[in-house]
Structure 1
Amino acid sequence: MNNRLLNWISFRYFRSKKQTGLISFTSYISIFGIALGCFALLISLSILNGFESEISARVIDLESHLRITGSAITDDTLDKIAAALKNDNPDIIYPFVMKKSILSNLGSEAVIRLKGIDSTIFQTKIMSPAAIMRGANHFNPVTAELPGIVVGYRLADKLGMFLGDTINVINPLDIKSSYSIPYVGRFVLSGVFRLDLFDYDENLAFIEIGAARRIYKMGDQYSGIDIRFDSYKKVNVIKQRLTMELADNYIISSWEDLHRDLFGAMKLEKYGSFLALSFIILIAIFNLTSSLVMLVMEKIREIGMLQTLGMNSAHIKGIFLRLGFITGSIGLLVGLLLATLLCLIQQHYKLIPLPSVYFIPYLPVELHLLDIAAILTAGLLLIFLGTLYPSQRVGKLTPLEAIQYEK
């Protein structure tokens, strides 16, 4: 039978005035519920995407896209890496020294990660002036001859450090017994940064790379090499190529490898939100199913007349499948369109602010086409499953049963 006729009958049933007001009410509730579920789902995923992008940007700015570590990294290694990447246009390649250290100030101590970086690179490429709470983003204090150190604000508060204080940096590897006298480096606090990432703000400090090599007696060696590109999208391809080209004694890690736990937790949060908010749509689908069942009961004699005119059970099932898709798709599209519109407005105009306790002044949102496609696919699948029972039920009716049915 002509599909246009089945579509026409489905639209007539959708637009027709129901004799039982409860059917219309339940249909509207199901449309509203599906729209609300899709709206909440896309909004929540977009907010999580926004926070993930903000955190990723801060981590990458402070660290790198690729990190190469090994037991014997020297300037020759740096030249070798630069030659291997000459066609990839890296934004910056720089060596670093990073070790566990003990930071001491006025009797208070803390075990931290101490990273030594070239002072020019640190000032121009790593530490943005916007991230500095107090002091400056360099290792040159104006009031002392000692080299400078820049620490996170939580670490500064924890040890009671103020700008201009003399800070002791102790190499714990020098402490071999209770009688050992470790090497102690003395620095002046020249800056305090705030990234609003707990691990960085409480456990990280920066000094000039030459001073770090002296503290750890590394001679002409480095802990590793950090590499940053203009985009993170090609990082995994470059990582695979470098892994094949370089010797086995080098470890190559991408920014995702370095922060696997952090980004793994954020992905798990997205999956949890998707599943939890999908239940709103699922409940609305139950309403859709019940409204279709009640509509079948109301239109049962008309269904019998259609069967006597030549329609078989497949045609009748097709009518109610289409009717369920019409009702459910309206809610699905309305919810997705409203959520997309709101996200685009927030992206461009930043109308929703955040309290000052957060690390950004506005609510971050980021639309992903994959999220929209996932919600659309899941919604259509649930709508299809929700219409199966009513359509199967109506398909089992015989013309005689339908015509003789009494309400």
Structure 2
Amino acid sequence: MDDRWPRWGADAGLVVLTFLPPLLSQPYVDTSGPAWASLTAYEAVGVVALLLRRRLPATAFVVVFAALLAALVGSAGAGAKLSPLVFLPLAVLLYNLGNHCASWRRTVSAVLAGVVLGLAGLWLNRMTTDSGDFQGGLDVLAALAPMPLAWAMGFAARTRQALLAAAERRAADARRAQVLEATQATQRERARIAGEMHDVVAHSLTLLVVHAETLRARGGELPDWARTQVDGLAAAGRQSSGELRDLLRMLRDPADAVPLQPVPGLGELKALLDSHRAAGGTVELTTGGAPESVPGPVQLAGYRIVQEALVNARRHAPGAPVRVSVDGDAGELRCEIVNGRAARRGTPGAGVGLGLVSMKERVDALGGELVAGPTGAGGFRVMATMRWEPADV
């Protein structure tokens, strides 16, 4: 509806600018009844044809030209003259013919029909009018001579519009080709990274699991504390191997991103904390709200944040107690991980500084907020807040 109003407004304005000037100038030419009757009938037909000009450009031109000839011949037969501005609607429709009629056959047919009608009108004018003052002559020829220019202007406008449309299509094709090329380059880079990870990380992780399982097989020769550590190491290695396989599948083919195993969520926090304790850490968990109602992507992000924070605590503050607080309620998940002062010296150069970057990227992707930094007691605190739209009950 909003798109139609501008078109109707333009049509109304064109009708006024095309048919009002002949009405205003007619009193200065001839005020007789036959003149006004011919002009009124001609303009009534012209208004209807002008409103249909886009749908039927050739027909509208022929109809208005025939109505114009009838008005001129009829008024001349009654001894009346029309304003020269009656040719203005014909110029508008000729412009419209060049702008909207894409068929050369219809255009040529309309022009030939106009020529035939013109000759017929000239013959009728000679037959019905004896006075030379009311017979068509140089004045009619002078009014019709510029008409081909109106058609040429309409044709030029249509050609320019076609060129612009073709340029826009070429630009759209170029953008699509650029996007496709970038997608293919990204896929090639994904495949390369997946190959590197498989050759380096997967190989080393497999060796780690093999050695851990070998130690488990000789568990009778190990002290109790070592058997517990080896069990935790083997379990962590198997879990990491499964997650790495899922990651490699996703890198090679993003469309095949369905994991081979269930995506971890807040329900697996207990097992995650048990693995931290098995590695010699001390951790306390506090939960609140209804974490099970949290959407899957938010649960995964919360799990990964707790996982990364525990890894950082083991690296940089070994032996330090860790407090984990998870609260999911009112459309918001809050995860807080605080570790105390290190009980012994951390591993020099541990980590590459990407843990916090990864956590922030996960939180930002969900529109949340991450705050991380040292505490006044010599520890470290990570606080992540992620919102979601709660489901209607």
TM bucket normalised to smaller:
under 0.3
Q: Larger helix proportion, structure 1 or 2?
A: 2
Q: What is the TM-score when the length of structure 1 is the normalising length?
A: 0.21
Whose RCO is larger (CA < 8 A, sep 6+)? 1
Q: What is the TM-score when the length of structure 2 is the normalising length?
A: 0.22
Task: Give 1 or 2 for the bigger CA radius of gyration.
Answer: 2
